[in-house]
Amino acid sequence: MKTWHGGCHCGALGFEFRTALPPATWPVRACQCSFCLKHSGVYTSDPSGSVRFTHQEPQLLSRYRFGHKTADFVFCGRCGWYLGAVAEEGGETLMVVNLRAFDPQPEGLPAAQPMSYEGESGDARNSRRASRWTPVSDS
């Protein structure tokens, strides 16, 4: 497993993304919903990997829910940087990370694939997340 670091612009919030996959094989998705388009969200995840939060100032964590209200979109309350989204599924916390939050940016990533989840049922959305998103770990 290799650890990749990401975080907000001001350094208050951060995460470690652990994956055995080389960046050239990461799934890179660009959701086409209005929120993701306005925030330039480009995402990756690895269901066999893990994400660990490394916040320096966790009180600055801000969450936003919209649409189906099944995921929290995570921001820094100081600099406004968007880190990704978290959801609960089957008693587990899962995350999809915004590649724009990585520092440094991984080299050799594939082109982002436009994705539309319009019309997806709540059950289908939860099932997709459970199979694709990265588990959040405490350690």
- Encode pLDDT of 43-69 as tens digits: 999 999 999 999 999 999 999 998 888
Question: pTM of the full predicted structure?
Answer: 0.93
Q: How far apart are CA 101 and CA 14, in angstroms?
A: 9
Q: Name the maximum alpha-carbon separation found in the chain.
A: 38
pLDDT, tens digit, for every residue of 65-108?
988 888 999 999 999 999 999 999 989 999 999 999 999 999 99
**pLDDT of 122 strictly over 90:** no
Report the DSSP beta bridge partners of residue 30.
114
Q: Which residues contact 20 (CB under 8 A, 6 or more apart)?
A: 1, 2, 46, 48, 49
Beta strands 29-31; 113-115: pairing state:
parallel
pLDDT tops 80 at residue 139: no
Domains of the chain: 2-135 (2.170.150.70)
Q: Are the C-beta atoms of residues 49 and 21 closer than 8 Å to each other?
A: yes
Rounded CA separation 30/114 (Å): 5
